[in-house]
Chain A
Amino acid sequence: MEGDIGLWGVPLAILGGAIRVSTPFIFVSLGETITERSGRINLGLEGTLVFGAMAAYAIAVETGSPWIGVLAAMVAGAGFGLLHGWICSFPKVNDIAVGIALMLFGMGLAFFFGKPYIQPSAPNLPAIPLGDWSSLPQVRAALNVNVLFLVGAALALALWWAFKNTKIGLIVRVVGDSADAARAMGLSPNTVRLFATAAGGALAAIGGAYLSLYYPGSWNERLSSGQGLMAVALVIFARWNPLGCFAAALLFGGAGALGPALQSVGVTQGYYLFYAAPYVLTLIVMIAASSPGRALAGAPGELSITR
């Protein structure tokens, strides 16, 4: 029967899932990488993501343009980042506690302002049909790649290069590894961290915009299922490396598609276990990659969890 792909549906779903589901993880984890490389942890990105999703959806409904929505989300996300950076610039403020407060604040604010936008439909972000060469509708659907995914991939590469080769990259790394060395160079750690957190917030909000404007493509209070929090964990998993973040996000997205895909081909026993696959996989990779000799390799020296 034409269009019946049977068991091939599983690898295809993992591929499609990796592309569809990973984008929010990519943006949030890249944003968090910038922030953490500067020596701060912003745990509030889940709130930023949810607020970004709401802001993008609301503005897209009002203006009719999803791109203006994404822009609005970035502005809002940068605002949250600035707020976090500003509060943390005071002495003896714990960045993790501020992050948790801002997470709840961002979600509450998003729920409050988002109420009137649950019902209306917003225009979606465009996707590029990279699967047109195939006659199978399943392949076409899996390779219908959203523009933001490609932007995320390019951004991961650019950040990886920039951290190594540019002056700004060096400044962020110095501030993150040793505030004293940065001060000796005439840099202000607080200012650098302020902007690094703002950039992180803006990126996280793009992740939210992807959720509300493309996949699954609607706004309500239950839209995020902890993607923002998981992405923060992915940064540690990826050892603060932007390319690692990209790979980890893909892995996580693909593993998340495993549960539904296996059920659709008839592997139905114990689906709750398959739904745990992304987390089990993360654990396995963490254990395999760990060694007593080089604990948390790549961690910025100024992070409050490593200091």
Chain B
Amino acid sequence: MTDASISRRRLLQSSVAGAALGVIGAPFTARPARAAGATVGFIYVGPKDDFGYNQAHAEGANALRGIEGIQLVEEENVPESVDVQKTMESMVNLDGASLIFPTSFGYFDPHVIAVAKKFPDVQFRHCGGLWDKAKHPMNAGSYFGYINFGQYLNGVAAGHATKSKKIGFVAAKPIPQVLLNVNAFLLGARSVDPSITCQVIFTGEWSLAVKEAEATNALIDQGADVITCHVDGPKVVTQTAAGRGAFVCGYHASQAPLAPEKYLTGAEWNWATVYTMYAKHLLAGEPLPNFTRGGIADGFVKMSPLGPGVPDAGRKQFEATLDEIKKGGFSVFKGPLKDNKGNEVAAAGKAFPETAIELESMNYLVDGVRGSTS
């Protein structure tokens, strides 16, 4: 049985080598000890100054710089692949991060789950809302904001600005958060004029500059005169739409400087609120909440100042709706409501508050939205 003896010898050799490596490696693999404070890691899928999603997160992360005891590590342009696992592992092993925010939607499954299982005493909070108490590790969690209320307000401004009664939406992927925004945008516009329709175009990716420009052009060619979007960097959509003379509603961050005349308003993230909250819990040694949600009233989402394209009637309705939302109890999605295939999604009298968890699994487009989820 030569095979067996060789493999046994090899086994012995390798285990000795492994043990030696372990001894040498021990000081390096042990987590760097820090006297006080904590290291917080941020991972972005794109450049952190993209006028959009990543910029909003980076601005939020920036708010932690002023907090004593918090060190920041950031990495941008990390693909939603096994790359993000490597980034998370190096943040834990090399930087000693005790809390990591992988900010992109596609990071969660399977990457965050896998790494969270591997490092049970490091906390992971993922932006987007897929964490489930029953299925996922307890050192992971999710945070998100009810930004669809912002898109509803965008819709109110758009409903007053549109002349063709057609508005357009450039969307990345048909996931619940995007569908919520598309639907809320139309419902906001329909609160002004129920004859308004919204055309949606899915580009299939979070960031495809040329395709986003093409989609914007196609929407305007079909008569849409107010455009908004849900892609990572709304810069291209904003510039293309304004260049064609259409109005723009912003998303993620303020794009007003790109088109001051054509920018109506925009739904912006205010992540500083969330990140500061987590950092304070972390420094105080308190457990971090696993599931964090908030809207305009909680300071998670804010609106860009209204642009010159919004008529006075629009301003009035916009302010009134904003006040009502801040008061609480406002529902964007309420019955009777049908999807655009004719199925009833909410019976008359039924209203979903912003916290309704059903909304986070939205898989339909409401009546009045032209487009399809697949």
Residues of chain A touching chain B, judged by Cβ–Cβ distance below 8 Å, are 1, 3-5, 9, 12-13, 16-17, 20-21, 111, 115, 118-119, 121, 137-138, 141-142, 211, 215-218, 220-223, 225, 227, 256-257, 259-261, 263-266, 268-272, 275
For chain B, the count of residues having a C-beta within 8 Å of the partner chain is: 42
- Given A119-B51, A215-B210, A268-B372, A275 and B204 contact (CB-CB distance below 8 Å): yes
A223–B209 CB distance below 8 A: yes
Write the chain A residue with the least CB distance to B170. A260
Contact A3 B223 (CB under 8 A): yes
Q: In the bound complex, what is the Cα–Cα distance between A119 and B200 (angstroms)?
A: 27
Across-interface contacts of A111 in B (CB, < 8 A): 77
Task: State how many angstroms separate the Cβ of A22 from the closest Cβ of chain B.
Answer: 11
Bound state CA distance, A16 and B240, in angstroms?
14
A216 and B240 contacting across the interface, CB-CB below 8 Å: yes
Any chain A CB within 8 A of the CB of B300?
no
Q: Is B202 in contact with A263, judged by CB distance below 8 angstroms?
A: yes
**Complex: A59 Cα to B239 Cα, angstroms:** 20
A217/B239 in contact, CB under 8 A? yes
State the CA gap A141–B245 with chains docked (Å): 11
Task: List the 3 closest A-B pairs by CB distance, nearest first.
Answer: A268-B372, A264-B218, A216-B213
In the complex, what distance in Å separates the CA atom of A8 from the CA atom of B1? 78
Q: Which residues of A contact B236 (CB under 8 A)?
A: 216-218
Q: Using a CB–CB distance below 8 Å, which chain B residues touch chain A? A: 46-47, 49-51, 77, 164, 199-204, 207-215, 217-223, 232-233, 235-236, 239-240, 244-245, 258, 370-372, 374
Chain A residues with Cβ below 8 Å from B213 are 20, 215-217
A270's closest neighbor in chain B, by CB? B374
Q: Which chain B residues lie closer than 8 Å to A220 at the CB level?
A: 46-47, 50, 209, 233, 235
Max count, chain A CB within 10 A of own CB: residue among B221, B236, B240: B221
Q: Shortest Cβ distance from A270 into chain B, in angstroms?
A: 7
The answer on a CB contact under 8 Å between B50 and A118 is yes
State A215–B278 Cα separation when bound (angstroms): 41
- Expressed in whole angstroms, the minimum distance between the Cβ of A249 and any Cβ of chain B is 13
**Contact (Cβ within 8 A) A256 B204:** no
- Complex contact A221–B222 (CB within 8 A): no
Q: Is the CB of A256 within 8 A of B214?
A: yes
Q: Complex Cα distance A270/B372, Å?
A: 9
Measured CB to CB, the nearest residue on chain A to B216 is A260
| A9 contact from B77, B214, B218, B374, Cβ within 8 A | B218
Q: What residues of A have a CB within 8 angstroms of the CB of B240 in the complex?
A: 216-217
Residue from the set A16, A20, A215 with the largest chain B CB neighbour count within 10 Å: A215
- Check if A141 sits within 8 Å of B371, measured CB to CB: no
Please measure, in the bound complex, the distance between the C-alpha atom of A5 and the C-alpha atom of B221, giving whole angstroms.
8
B252 to chain A, nearest CB (A): 14
User: How many Å lie between the Cα of A227 and that of B239 in the bound state?
Assistant: 21
Contacts of B204 in A (CB 8 A): 271-272, 275
With A and B bound together, what is the CA distance between A159 and B72 in angstroms? 54
Interface centre among B202, B203, B223 (most CB of A within 10 A): B223
B49–A260 contact, CB under 8 A?
no
Report A-chain residues with C-beta under 8 Å of the C-beta of B244.
Answer: 141
Indicate if the CB atoms of A9 and B209 lie closer than 8 Å: no
Of B49, B204, B210, most A-chain CB atoms within 10 Å: B210
A259 and B223 alpha carbons, distance in the complex (Å): 18
Q: List 15 A-B contacts (CB under 8 A).
A: A13-B214, A17-B214, A21-B214, A119-B51, A121-B258, A216-B209, A216-B212, A216-B240, A217-B236, A218-B209, A222-B47, A222-B232, A222-B233, A225-B211, A266-B370
Distance (whole angstroms) from the CB of B364 to the closest CB of chain A:
13
How far apart are the CA atoms of A133 and B208 in the complex, in Å?
Answer: 33
Contacting pair A218 B47 (CB below 8 A): no
- The complex places the Cα of A115 from the Cα of B372 at a distance, in Å, of 37
A257 surroundings in chain B (CB, below 8 A): 214, 218
Q: Is B209 a contact of A13 with CB atoms below 8 Å? A: no
Complex Cα distance, B258 from A121, in Å, reads 8
**Known contacts A118-B47, A268-B371, A272-B204; is A141 also within 8 Å of B217 by CB?**
yes
* Contact between B218 and A118, CB atoms less than 8 A apart: no
- Further contacts, 16 of them, CB under 8 A, given A138-B221, A222-B207, A264-B201: A21-B210, A21-B214, A118-B47, A118-B49, A137-B245, A138-B220, A142-B221, A211-B210, A216-B209, A216-B210, A218-B235, A220-B233, A222-B209, A256-B210, A263-B200, A264-B221
Contacts of B239 in A (CB 8 A): 216-218
Residues of B within 8 A of A269 (CB): 372, 374
- The residue of chain A having its C-beta at the shortest distance from the C-beta of B45 within the complex is A222
Complex Cα spacing A257 to B233, Å: 20
Question: Nearest A residue to B48 by beta-carbon distance?
Answer: A118
Contact of B199 among A141, A217, A256, A264 (CB under 8 A): A264
Residue in chain B with minimal CB distance to A13: B218
Q: Is the CB of A260 within 8 A of B209?
A: no
Q: Is the CB of B203 within 8 A of A9?
A: no
Chain A proximity of B95: nearest CB distance (Å): 21
- Interface centre among A141, A269, A270, by most B CB within 10 Å? A141
Flag if B222 contacts A265 (CB, 8 Å): yes
Among candidates B210, B221, B233, residue contacting A141 with C-beta atoms closer than 8 Å: B221
In the complex, what distance in Å separates the CA atom of A4 from the CA atom of B166? 11
**Min CB distance, A212 to chain B, in Å?**
10
Q: Decide yes or no: A260 and B203 within 8 Å by CB, A21-B210, A222-B47 being known contacts.
A: yes
Give chain B residues whose Cβ lies under 8 Å from the Cβ of A121.
258
Hey, which chain A residues are within 8 Å of B371, CB to CB? 263, 268
In the assembly, what is the distance between CA of A183 and CA of B213, in Å? 49
Q: Which residue of chain B is the closest to A4 with respect to CB atoms?
A: B223
